[in-house]
Structure 1
């Protein structure tokens, strides 16, 4: 469900709405909005604090129904934790929990005053943007492949207003555009691989381009890529009945002749591992192996919706990695688009094999200002950083710092890993210019080192989102990362 967001300036005790949302810290300290509601309601909130029904722990919620003296039908009180340690991450968390609690109520609208809470180092626009994105994230429901259900007779939350004035308007506009990009990314990644295959990704990109001025889409099929010399990418797709596509989206929002920024996203729509077959348990999660593609497409959508004054290219190599009599094998030697030959030591290290050709094509065709790839590339990155931070690699300190700053701003964080040439020796081959894996040590880094060989002369960065692109488990959903990070980085460049 898509929430409609707006700003409001009415007093919390007098706004007529199905529900107002206010905050209480762990020591019983009420925010200014909560204090006004409490005064109007003759101490109703303080009484619940004193009785222990409201403890103020971060993310906890309590409901007051139809309190006398308050115009709203309900008051949702959200715990903020300790005031002294309150920060951006906690602010995001309490807004997600508030939205989840609202979603469980039989209401169609609410007004949140959590945006008035002081978050050190962040202004009103940031607070509103973060709150809106948190609410949209919590409201997302995957329904595409369920049997259609009868519409519930009870109302559902469709509109959410935030306390804020003109200084928050820019944050709200950004949130609406970024939320759309995140939803696009999540939906693409959540779809099953029998629907979201290379042809489907290409068709969705073409539809988006047809609906927007300044946007064009080009799709290269396997025959065209064969003519051009995409030997590495095409090898990965050889075992699948779903032929590879190279999807190229262009947005011309900047000055004519300005070099574009370029995003490249790994689009393995399903990864069996190929001949180096993955174990069965957990293989169903490999539909998420196109999380990088989903992320860069979502970032492209958000940039277009924001009307950013930049030129932007989004390139997605969309491929399925399957075992078959025609599949590529361990010990095959492939000739990449760059001319470098690659010894295949493991067919499950396929993401880098499609990315290397896509990166070469993007660099040669568009000569971008900056080239950034996003990929669910290595399990090693998940071991190193877990589910909280994406792995960032770049030889350009300034670019790495920009991306880390964008991640900190949006709470879509990345952590830099070294990309030293010391690691390149692990990729040496006796039969080709480079091997496609570097052994079990420093697996995330050697994957980045492999890609670095195909981005010489480019201002390039690599984001390994294997740990952050989806939530684990049978019911885990795509997260939409790193859309927020990449869009913030683009907004910073546009500014």
Structure 2
């Protein structure tokens, strides 16, 4: 598993700055003001930092952006990274600055001069998140980057505030690794084994095999995987850090480790990207890892349905009718609308067994959500305004784009079937909404629920502020914050 680059927090040592070999990062305020460490760097470089602050280019820099001075005079460093940042920056700007510094530093030894910088822990989170690199299958992969040194005037306080953020970074990295893995490696067996290994950090993990799922009546889920040699599974992860006896909050994830579309096979172009169709399950796993690592004072259960959707002589066909665990029958119109079939059974099981205080499901569910929202926002659908508002507030605070879309009977009517209780698709119009309406049919009347369609944000083709191209880990930070705000006070 990829682990975040280690950060060592140390007391500011002005004498050590000149001797650092590698790269040194320093911060300048919007107006070019310098703190004690910046003044020390300015003296060492014979005024180079002040000249940069006075130059027209500095005024054009946005908060969080960086510029670099190569081989600065008076220092052994190979480069000086200068970040423009207020002494009291916003969370977003602080994380952006950390991410920009990480990009500029690469794998070089890095010294960050934070001094009395407010939101220094958020800078460290940006450093950690942007330092991610998935290179497990590159024969020329470089050795892991050395630990970073983070000098602050009160290092113990900064380190204490950064500790929960380190747990977040590890959860995000876990999600990114899962989403980036190729499907010949991340089979349903391998995925379940990686989740089972989290028992070592305090999660209670249970794996339900196909025989268990058959007894439970999870035939919509089993139907999706019946054309694959990889056995379908449901993995249940429990974190019981809250009050004993309190009902948990539930997270449910779609874990289609590869999606060919089944008999309704997808076009060849871009099918290689369907290794990320387990992104919802990946986020659930990352959140559960974060909760366990930071010892969250909440009761949360994470459930993921792991399947592979393949065309085979035994595969499910368009026109088949399957019966869900709930008891409703579903006419299969398109076998490529498989994620909702997986979630239907897992959602019902989660409510039936755990009676949760609320449920959030995550899935790379529809291409339609990308048409509507692009790669900047996940689609949010909910039957409960309070829960939706709580999530949207958390997502905004963490800088993870999310946009609420409507539900309604007119959309639900599109799912009517001539021969069964419902169809698994409702046509091209409002495809993301009709998919959410399908899922809502498997939510009990009094259960607060959110469906997050993350097809556009789980994996992207270009760098984002906090991640290189590929898997983003979107949702881990927002869900962790929502759980902290809602259940931990």
Q: Same fold (TM over 0.5)?
A: yes
Q: Secondary structure at the match of 2:302?
A: strand
Q: From the superposition, tell whether residues 77 and 452 of structure 1 become closer, same or farther in structure 2 (CA, over 3 Å).
A: same
- Kept in 2: contact 1:7–1:164 (CA 8 A): no
Aligned to 1:468: 457
Aligned to 1:485: 478
User: How much has 1:426 moved relative to structure 2?
Assistant: 1.5
Aligned to 1:2: 4
- Kept in 2: contact 1:426–1:439 (CA 8 A): yes
Shift >6 Å, 4+ stretches? 11-14, 70-73
Aligned to 1:62: 68
User: How much has 1:6 moved relative to structure 2?
Assistant: 4.1
- Kept in 2: contact 1:14–1:71 (CA 8 A): no
1:314 counterpart (302, 312, 320): 302
Aligned to 1:38: 42
- Kept in 2: contact 1:239–1:324 (CA 8 A): yes
In the aligned structure 1, how far is the partner of 2:298 from the partner of 2:258?
Answer: 33
Answer yes or no: is 1:76 the counterpart of 2:81: yes
Answer yes or no: is 1:282 the counterpart of 2:274: no
Answer yes or no: is 1:204 the counterpart of 2:216: no
Residue deviations 1:46-67, cap 9 Å, x none?
3245566756523342125344
Answer yes or no: is 1:410 the counterpart of 2:433: no
Aligned to 2:369: 381
Q: Structure 1: any 5+ residue segments left out of the alignment? A: 117-123
Aligned to 1:249: 237
Residue deviations 1:300-324, cap 9 Å, x none?
0000001011122110100000111
Q: From the superposition, tell whether residues 183 and 75 of structure 1 become closer, same or farther in structure 2 (CA, over 3 Å).
A: same
- Kept in 2: contact 1:67–1:74 (CA 8 A): no
Answer yes or no: is 1:195 the counterpart of 2:175: no
Aligned to 1:269: 257
- Kept in 2: contact 1:13–1:40 (CA 8 A): no
Answer yes or no: is 1:182 the counterpart of 2:172: yes
User: How much has 1:131 moved relative to structure 2?
Assistant: 2.1
Q: Secondary structure at the match of 2:207?
A: strand
Aligned to 2:426: 438
- Kept in 1: contact 2:121–2:161 (CA 8 A): yes
Q: Structure 2: any 5+ residue segments left out of the alignment? A: none
Aligned to 1:140: 132
Residue deviations 1:206-249, cap 9 Å, x none?
1111x134x22111111211121111000000111111011111
In the aligned structure 2, how far is the partner of 1:212 from the partner of 1:60?
Answer: 37
Aligned to 2:112: 111
Q: From the superposition, tell whether residues 56 and 113 of structure 1 become closer, same or farther in structure 2 (CA, over 3 Å).
A: farther
In the aligned structure 2, how far is the partner of 1:114 from the partner of 1:278?
Answer: 54
Q: Secondary structure at the match of 1:440?
A: coil
1:231 counterpart (219, 223, 229): 219
In the aligned structure 2, how far is the partner of 1:438 from the partner of 1:112?
Answer: 56
Q: From the superposition, tell whether residues 357 and 134 of structure 1 become closer, same or farther in structure 2 (CA, over 3 Å).
A: same
How big is the alpha-carbon RMSD for the aligned residues of Structure 1 and Structure 2?
A: 2.8
Q: From the superposition, tell whether residues 9 and 167 of structure 1 become closer, same or farther in structure 2 (CA, over 3 Å).
A: same
Aligned to 1:459: 448
- Kept in 1: contact 2:12–2:153 (CA 8 A): no
In the aligned structure 2, how far is the partner of 1:113 from the partner of 1:432?
Answer: 63
- Kept in 2: contact 1:95–1:114 (CA 8 A): no
Aligned to 2:347: 359
Q: Which moved more, 1:34-43 or 1:417-426?
A: 34-43
Q: Secondary structure at the match of 1:113?
A: strand
1:345 counterpart (333, 337, 340): 333
Q: How many matched pairs?
A: 475
Q: Secondary structure at the match of 2:266?
A: coil
Q: From the superposition, tell whether residues 208 and 189 of structure 1 become closer, same or farther in structure 2 (CA, over 3 Å).
A: same
User: How much has 1:464 moved relative to structure 2?
Assistant: 1.0
In the aligned structure 1, how far is the partner of 2:158 from the partner of 2:391?
Answer: 24
Q: From the superposition, tell whether residues 150 and 232 of structure 1 become closer, same or farther in structure 2 (CA, over 3 Å).
A: closer
Aligned to 1:23: 27
TM-score by length of 2: 0.89
In the aligned structure 2, how far is the partner of 1:357 from the partner of 1:330?
Answer: 19
Q: Secondary structure at the match of 2:201?
A: coil
Q: Secondary structure at the match of 1:97?
A: helix
Q: Secondary structure at the match of 1:93?
A: helix
Q: From the superposition, tell whether residues 3 and 429 of structure 1 become closer, same or farther in structure 2 (CA, over 3 Å).
A: same
2:410 counterpart (407, 422, 435): 422
User: How much has 1:71 moved relative to structure 2?
Assistant: 9.0
